[in-house]
A and B are shown apart, each in its own frame.
Chain A
Amino acid sequence: MELLSQIMIMAVGAIFINNFVLAKFLGICPYLGVSKKLDSALGMGMAVIFVMTMASAITWLIQSYLLVPFNIEYLQTIAFILTIASLVQFVEMVIQKNAPALYKSLGVFLPLITTNCAVLGVAILNLTADNGLPYNFGFSILNGFFSGVGFTVVLVLMAGIREKLEYAELPASMKGMPIALIIAGSMALAFLGFAGLKF
C-alpha cells in the first residue's frame, strides 16, 4: 500500500503539478511545433513516452554502473546525450524491422526526439531526486514514464485547442506562433492551480 501511494503521488506530481512543459519549460520545441494537428500530436506524445521511459532506464544503469564506480560523473552530459542519440536510432531500427505499422505512425517523430530537451532533462532530473522519492531503478523508470504522460497530455490538449483556433478570426500579426504562445501561457496559468494540491 505504501508503495502504491508513493507511485500515485509521483504520477500526479509529474503529470499535473510539475508538468514538464508548463512548469519546467522542457520540450517546448515539439510542444509548439507538432501541436497543429491532433493525430500527429498523439503520435509524437506516444513516441516521447516510449523514449523517455527507455532513456530513464538506460541512463540510470550508466550512472550507477559506469560513471559512479569510475568517478567520472563530470562526463554525465556527454555520456547521456550520446546514449540518448544512439537509443533513439536503435529504437527506430527495431520498430522499423519488427513493427512496420507502428513505425508508420511513430517513425517521422523519432529522429526529432534526440534534440528534445525533455528526454535529457528527465535523465538528469532522475539523478537529483529532489521530489523526495527514493532514487532507484524502478522509480527512475516510473518517473520517466509519468513525465512523458504529462508531456503528452499537454501536447494533445494544445493540439485540440489549435485545431479549433483555425476558425477563429485573429488580427493578422497574432496568427501562428504569437497566439500559440499566449494560449500556452493561459494553459500554464490553469496548471498553476494544481500547485495547491497537497497530500
Chain B
Amino acid sequence: MTAMKEFTKGFIKENPVFILVLGMCPTLAVTSSVKDALGMGLSATFVLLCSNIIVSLIKGIVPTKIRIPMFIVVIATFVTIVDMAMAAFMPPLHKSLGLFIPLIVVNCIILGRAEAFASKNNVFMSVMDALGMGLGFTFALVVLGTIRELLGAGKILGFPILPQVYQDSPMLVAILAPGAFITLGFILAVINLLNKRGK
C-alpha cells in the first residue's frame, strides 16, 4: 500500500513542478511544444529511475562525506547515455532539446530525489518514487506544453486544433520566452486557489 502512495504522490500532492517548484529551467525552456515537453519529461524520468536504482544499491558503500559527488557522477553517466542514444535514434528531438539534455545533470529534482529518498530507502521503493516523480514531472511539462502550443500555434502535437483564422495569426508570445513564465505563473496561481478551496 505504501508503494502505491510513493508512486502517486509525485503527480499531485508533491508534484515537482507545480508544488515543489523544482527543475524550473527545463520546465520553462522546452515546453514550447508538446513533443519537446514529452521528450524532456521521459528522458528525465529515465535518468531519475536509473540513478535512483543505483543510488539505493550503493547507499551502504558510499562514505557520507563524498556522497554528493558520487551521486552526480551516477547521474551524469545516465545523462550521457540518454544524450548519445537520442542523438543516434531521434536526431530531430535531440536537436530541438539541444543544450537541455546535458543540463539534466543539474536538474535539482534528480539530485534531490537521490539525496532525500533513494539514499535512505530500498530499491523497490526508490523505483516507485522515481516513476511517480518522473511521470509527475512529465505530466507538468505536458500540461504547460499543451497550453503554450495551443495558444501559440493553434495546434497540439502538430495537429491543428483551433480554426485556420487563429493559426494564421496566433498569440505568438505564448511560445516565446515570456509566455513560458506567464503561463506557469497563472497555472501556479490556479493551483494555489484550488488548494485553498479544497481546505
Contact = CB atoms under 8 A, between A and B. Distances in A.
Interface of A: 22-29, 32, 74-78, 81-82, 85-86, 114-117, 120-121, 124-125, 171-174, 177-182, 184-186, 188-189, 192
A173 B76 contact: no
9 contacts: A22-B177, A77-B76, A81-B106, A115-B106, A181-B182, A182-B181, A182-B185, A185-B179, A185-B181
B133 interface: no
Contacts of A124: 99, 102-103
Interface of B: 21-22, 24-25, 28-29, 68-69, 72-73, 76-77, 79-80, 83-84, 99, 102-103, 105-108, 111, 173, 176-182, 184-186, 188-190, 192-193, 196
Contacts of A171: 189
Contact of B24 (A32, A182, A185): A32
A81 B76 contact: yes
Contacts of B108: 29, 115
A81 B186 CA distance: 34
Contact of B103 (A85, A117, A180, A184): A117
Contacts of B69: 82, 85-86
A121 B184 CA distance: 23
B186 A28 contact: no
Contacts of B106: 81, 114-117, 120
A72 B165 CA distance: 51
A18 to B, nearest CB: 11
A153 to B, nearest CB: 16
A115 B193 CA distance: 31
A86 B105 CA distance: 15
Contacts of B102: 76-77, 120, 124
A192 B181 CA distance: 13
A192 B172 CA distance: 13
- Best-buried of A28, A120, A179 by chain B (most CB within 10 Å): A28
A173 B191 CA distance: 8
Nearest to A86: B69
A109 B79 CA distance: 26
Contact of B173 (A114, A179, A189): A189
Nearest to A128: B99
Contacts of B99: 24, 121, 124-125
B105 A81 contact: yes
A174 B192 CA distance: 8
A177 B21 contact: yes
Nearest to A75: B80
A120 B181 contact: no
A174 to B, nearest CB: 5
A181 B28 CA distance: 11
